[in-house]
Structure 1
Amino acid sequence: MNYEWLDEYLLSKLGVTKDFKEEWEWDRYLLNGKMIAAICTDKTGKEIITLKCEPSFGEELRIQYEDIIPGYYMNKVHWNSVYLEGEVPDEVIKDMIDQSYELIFNKLSKKMQNEIRNGDKND
């Protein structure tokens, strides 16, 4: 994997936890039980990270980078997968992570958002 910083960056987001979905063999990063990211392998064994993006942003990225594809085993409009042996710049992946986090965070109730902002980041 070219992006050794991924786990630390994802877990640095307020309220994000990590689990392993055994039946899928996915490391999932969750915010209030909702997935913001998943790291797994595709059917050929290549490692990928899957992230939620605004549809137009995701489409733009897929045009610009051959290592970004429609979400693996996810809704192809809202989710995108990045090959972790690829050449996508770190900053692009960080932007994708930030957007995925914000999309999920903004759908939470105001009460839950405040609890996450005011609580320990990994409660």
Structure 2
Amino acid sequence: MNGDTLQQHARNRVEELPGALLEYPFGPDWDVFKVHGKVFMLLTEISGELIVIVKAGPEDGKALREQHEDITPGYHMNKHHWITLHPGGTLQEDLVDDLITESYLLVVENLPHAKRPVDPRTFSQRE
């Protein structure tokens, strides 16, 4: 996937996630996606490269970085809890969908039960 395709694919997946909102708290160059005020995905451009930044569990993030050269520590984020997806390599659409959904669910599971738009234990990766 090229950068435009990667970011558009990410946007399309977010549209399927209940309660997800797009905001611009860091200015127009950063698309920040939140659920009930908590960030789960960012889109931006660094050095001409369009990237996607998502949350990941520390062990999952480490394994993903080791397995995929197109996944690096989170740009401008906590390197243990965030990963950056880079275009132009071997990232498959299904993996990108799963990583975005997992990031969303990591945030949702830390919300008070009354504010959760979905049950993180039962929400399917493919809903």
Shorter-chain-normalised TM-score: which range? Answer: 0.7 to 0.9
Report what 1:10 is aligned to.
14
Report what 1:107 is aligned to.
110
Instruction: Describe the shift of the 1:86–1:2 C-alpha distance in structure 2 as closer, same or farther (beyond 3 A).
Output: farther
TM-score (norm 2): 0.82
CA contact (8 A) 2:10 2:100 kept: no
TM-score (norm 1): 0.85
Report what 2:61 is aligned to.
58
RMSD between superposed Cα atoms in Å? 1.5
| Corresponding letter in the other structure for 1:19 | E
- 7-16 or 83-92, larger mean C-alpha shift: 83-92
- Equivalent position SS for 1:62: helix
Equivalences for residues 22-101 of structure 1 within 5 A? 22-23=26-27, 25-42=29-46, 44-101=47-104
| d(CA) in 2 for partners of 1:76, 1:69 | 9
| d(CA) in 1 for partners of 2:102, 2:14 | 12
Q: Deviations over 1:81-116 (max 9, x none)?
A: 001333211111111111101100000001111xx2
CA contact (8 A) 1:47 1:85 kept: no
Instruction: Describe the shift of the 1:22–1:79 C-alpha distance in structure 2 as closer, same or farther (beyond 3 A).
Output: closer
Q: Deviations over 1:36-56 (max 9, x none)?
A: 1000012x2211100000111
Unaligned runs of 5+ in 1: 118-123
Unaligned runs of 5+ in 2: 119-127
| Corresponding letter in the other structure for 1:54 | G
| Corresponding letter in the other structure for 1:56 | E
